[in-house]
Structure 1
Amino acid sequence: MEDLVKANVGEKVLFDKEIIGLVEKVSENAVIVQIIKNHTKREFDNNKTVISHRMYKIMAKN
């Protein structure tokens, strides 16, 4: 089993190749992010979503 690098609160993550979110909460299997850039047609309730640790890349460290 490979070790995943988990984002921390306040870090920016990239997912779905075109969406950037700011991590608000970290759990064992996922993060909750506030969407800050969305270059897709996808819409998110309250501009927030849950992303599995396997589905994002960390963009910027604090």
Structure 2
Amino acid sequence: MKIAEAGEVIEFKNGLQGRVQKVNKNSVIVDITIMENYKDLDLEPLTVVNHKNYRIVQEA
């Protein structure tokens, strides 16, 4: 499993995508406002995702 780096885009939880803002020991903090339908989702702009629960879709 490759750990994402800041600036990379990841996919997690039923197709949500976001840009990694910060990498922590067990998780990443992700900005999901990059998604076109972000405003329709009624979610917070930043979320925490465990390293086990995402895949990298665009490398930095």
Give yes or no for TM over 0.5.
yes
Q: Which has the higher strand share?
A: 1
Q: Which has the higher helix share?
A: 2
C-alpha RMSD over aligned residues: 2.0
* Runs ≥4 residues deviating over 3 A: none
In 1, Cα distance between equivalents of 2:36 and 2:46: 11
TM score, norm. by length of structure 2: 0.81
What's the counterpart of residue 32 of structure 1? 29
| 1:7–1:23 Cα contact (<8 Å) kept | yes
Deviation readout 1:6-58 (Å, 9 max, x if unpaired) = 0000000000132100000000100000002276x75332x110000000000
State, as a whole percentage, how many aligned pairs show the same letter.
Answer: 33
TM score, norm. by length of structure 1: 0.79
What's the counterpart of residue 42 of structure 2? 43
